[in-house]
Amino acid sequence: MFEKTRQLSVFLENKPGELSRLAKLLGDHGVNILAMSIQDPVEHIQGLFRAREVTLRRIASTASYSAILKEASMLTLIRFVTSDPEGSLELLKEAGYNVTMSEVIASVLAHRPGRLAAIADCMAREGINIDYTYGSSLENMDRALFLFHVSDIEAALAALKAMKD
């Protein structure tokens, strides 16, 4: 199963209690979080800095990286899908969160070796970039939920729906 859905993205202050506050707000309004990914921006930026050293490409000065790392350490990026995307968006905006909404592909995959590789290969053959993905399953489950943010969602959906299982 592949279908288009909407995810929310919020930058939270990187301090104790912020995730609890966000989850409580949604829960108190009957909104269920279906999937979530929390990113550590510092780790990502440090990875860019290491890549710069390996490739010898100058992306920014060392001083710029230091300033960016300091700023990034104060925030955490949370991406999530809820049972009520539009209602969640309005609720979070009213509560003062800086929130955005984007389209992603939700996929319930057969939980078996190579399934994710087949999906990634299908998109690559069509020239569709997977910007990022997140998902999971428990080991004893026969299905896994994955979300894909891609460069061309309509082309990706067409390719994935035509793909043989």
- Tens digit of each residue's pLDDT (9 = 90 or more) over 18-69: 999 999 999 999 999 999 999 876 666 666 666 666 655 655 666 676 776 6
Residue 114: which CATH number? 3.30.2130.10
Note the pLDDT of residue 63: 67
What the block records as the tokens of 85 is 């995307």
- Tens digit of each residue's pLDDT (9 = 90 or more) over 95-133: 999 999 999 999 998 888 899 999 999 999 999 999 999
The whole domain housing 57 covers 2-162
pTM above 0.85? no
Domain count for the chain, please give it: 1
Q: Which of 27, 7, 3, 22 lies closest to 134, judged by CA?
A: 7
